[in-house]
Amino acid sequence: MKKILLVSLVILVSAISLFAAKYVVGTSADFPPFEYVQNGEFMGFDIDLIKAIAAEMGFEIEIRDMSFDSLIAALVSGNLDIVISGMTITAERAEVVSFSKPYWTADQSVVVREDSDLTVTVLFGKHSIGVQTGTTGDIWVEDNLVTTKILTGDFKRYETYTLAMTDLINRNLDAIVLDSPVAQSFASVRPVKIVAILKTYEDYGIAVNKANKTLLDLINEGIRRLESSGKLAELNLKHF
C-alpha cells in the first residue's frame, strides 16, 4: 500500500511540475494581426492564442521578440521552448522542429503602393520585390521568380515586414510578397493595396523542440479544447 501511495505521489508531483511550468515563447512581433507591439505590449491573434492555450492547460509563458529567421535556431538551441509567429508548416522546417496541429490557413499576397498602376505583372521583368527573410514569401519568390529568372530586377530581403513596407511606401520597392492576412492588415492602415493572391495553401503551426513531445501534446490538447469550447472561433472574430 505504501508503495502504491508513493508512486501515486510521484505521479501527482510530476503532473503539478508540468502544469506549473513556465515556457519561453518566441515570436517576431511585426506581423499584424498575428503579432505586433502596441503601447509596449504584445498583441495579436497568435499572442491571444498562446495565452489561451497556457491558461487552458495550466502553464505560464514569457514572450520574447526576435527576428523571424532566428526563431527556429533559438528553438533548436534551447533558448526558446515554443515558437508562435504565423509560421507555415513546411517539410524543411519539420525536419528540425515539431509542429502542432494547424490553427490557420493562408496564401501569399502581392502588395504595391496605393497609387501604383502595377498589377500581378510586377512579378515579371525588371521590378524590385521585397520579402521578409526566412518566410515562405521569401522562399516562393526565390524558387518561382529569381531562380527561374522571371524576375530580373532587385530581390531584397528584410529583417521585418515593417522595414519592407517602409521601403515600398518610400518608392524603394515596387512590391512586397507576404502572407495574405498580414497584407490585408497593412492595406487597411497604410497607403498600399493588394493586386494579386498567390494560392499557396499554407498551414500555420506552433513549433516546439523535437525532443519535447510532452509539450507538443500539451499544446495540441490546448488547441483542441479551444476549438471545442468555441474560444478559437471567438479569437478569429476578434482579430479578423
The rounded radius of gyration (Å) of the Cα atoms in the chain is 20
Task: Give, in degrees to the nearest 5, the angle at Cα 89 between 86 and 91.
Answer: 150
Residue 65 scores a pLDDT above 50: yes
Q: Which amino acid is at 30?
A: D
As a whole number, mean pLDDT of residues 64-73 equals 97
What are φ and ψ of residue 117, in 5° steps?
-90, -5
- Grid coordinates representing 56 are 487552458
Distance CA 92, CA 83 (A): 16
Q: What is the pLDDT of residue 13?
A: 44
Q: What is the pLDDT of residue 160?
A: 94
Say which residue, 101 or 1, is predicted with more confidence: 101
- Grid coordinates representing 13 are 508531483
Q: Cβ distance 192 to 109 under 8 Å?
A: no
Strands 82-83 and 22-27, sheet pairing:
parallel
Q: What is the pLDDT of residue 176?
A: 98
Q: Cβ distance 151 to 78 under 8 Å?
A: no
Task: Give, in degrees to the nearest 5, the angle at Cα 65 between 63 and 68.
Answer: 125
Q: What is the pLDDT of residue 161?
A: 92
Distance CA 88, CA 121 (A): 26
Residues 6+ apart with CB under 8 A from 169: 113, 190, 191, 192
- Grid coordinates representing 23 are 515556457
As a whole number, mean pLDDT of residues 101-120 equals 97
Q: What's the half-sphere exposure (Cβ side, CA atoms, 13 Å) at 210?
A: 9
Reported as type and span, the H/E element at residue 199 is strand 192-204
Tell me the pLDDT band of 20, cut-offs 50, 70 and 90. Answer: low
Tell me the pLDDT band of 12, cut-offs 50, 70 and 90. Answer: very low
pTM recorded for the entire structure? 0.87
Residue 9 scores a pLDDT above 50: no
Positions of E strands within 133-229: 155-158, 175-179, 192-204, 207-209
Name the percent of the chain in helix, strand, coil, to the closest 5: 45, 30, 30
